[in-house]
Amino acid sequence: MSAPGSLAWFAHHEFRLMWRDWIAMMTAGRRARTLFVALAIFAVFMHGVAFLVVARFATLATPDKTALVVITGSVMLVWSLMLSQAMESVTRAFYARSDLDLIMSSPTMARRLFAVRILAIAVSVMAMATLIAAPFVDVLAIAGGLHWLGAFGALAAVGAMAAAVAVLATTAMFAVIGPKRTRLVAQIVAAVIGAVFVIVLQLAAIVSSGTLSRFTVLASQPIVAIAPDAESVLWLPARAILGDPAALAGLIVLSLALLAVSVVITAPRFAACALAAASHAQATVRQRRTANFRTTSPLALLRRKEWTLLWRDPWLASQTLMQLLYLLPPAFLLWRSFGDGPGAAVLLVPVLVMAAGQLGGGLAWLAISGEDAPELIATAPLPPVRILRAKVEAVMGAVIVMFVPLVIALAVVSPFSAIVATIGIGASAASATYVQLCFRAQARRSQFRRRQTSSRIATFIEAFASIGCAGAAALAAAGYGVAVVPAVLTVGLLAGARAISPQKG
pLDDT of 399: 85
Tell me what percent of the residues of the chain surpass a pLDDT of 70.
66
Per-residue pLDDT of 397-429, as tens digits, reads 888 888 888 888 888 878 888 899 999 999 999
Average pLDDT over every residue of 214-236: 74
Residue 267, C-beta contacts closer than 8 angstroms, at least 6 positions apart: 111, 112, 114, 115, 118
Q: How far apart are CA 283 and CA 289, in angstroms?
A: 10
pLDDT of 423: 93
pLDDT band for position 286 (cuts 50, 70, 90): very low
Per-residue pLDDT of 312-321, as tens digits, reads 665 665 666 6
Average pLDDT over every residue of 148-160: 88
Mean pLDDT of the chain: 75
pLDDT band for position 253 (cuts 50, 70, 90): very high
Does the pLDDT value for residue 324 go beyond 90?
no
More confident residue, 87 or 30: 87
pLDDT of 288: 47
Average pLDDT over every residue of 336-351: 63
The amino acid present at 458, given as its one-letter code, is: A
Q: How far apart are CA 431 and CA 490, in angstroms?
A: 9
Does the pLDDT value for residue 332 go beyond 50?
yes
Q: What's the number of CA atoms in the CB half-sphere (13 Å) around residue 482?
A: 5
What is the longest distance spanned by two Cα atoms in the chain? 75
Q: How far apart are CA 223 and CA 69, in angstroms?
A: 8
Give the helix ranges, DSSP H, for 290-327.
298-311, 314-325
CB 192 within 8 A of CB 291: no
Closest CA to 465 of 486, 481, 440: 486
Exposed/middle/buried for 356, CB within 10 Å: 0-12, 13-18, 19+?
Answer: buried
Q: How far apart are CA 323 and CA 119, in angstroms?
A: 29
Helices (H) and strands (E) in the chain, counts: 19, 0
Write out the DSSP string of 64-103.
-HHHHHHHHHHHHHHHHHHHHHHHHHHHHHHHT---HHHH
pLDDT of 488: 92
Name the CA radius of gyration of the chain, rounded.
Answer: 25
Does the pLDDT value for residue 283 go beyond 50?
no
pTM of the predicted protein model = 0.65
Run of H or E residues at 182: helix 150-209
Does the pLDDT value for residue 92 go beyond 90?
no
Q: What is the dihedral sign for C-alpha 289, 366, 299, 504?
A: negative
Does the pLDDT value for residue 37 go beyond 60?
yes
The amino acid present at 430, given as its one-letter code, is: A
Domains of the chain by residue range:
7-289, 298-499
Q: What's the number of CA atoms in the CB half-sphere (13 Å) around residue 173?
A: 23
Q: How far apart are CA 417 and CA 434, in angstroms?
A: 25
Helix (H, G, I), strand (E, B) or coil at 146: helix
Per-residue pLDDT of 43-74, as tens digits, reads 888 888 888 877 777 776 667 777 788 888 88
pLDDT of 12: 73
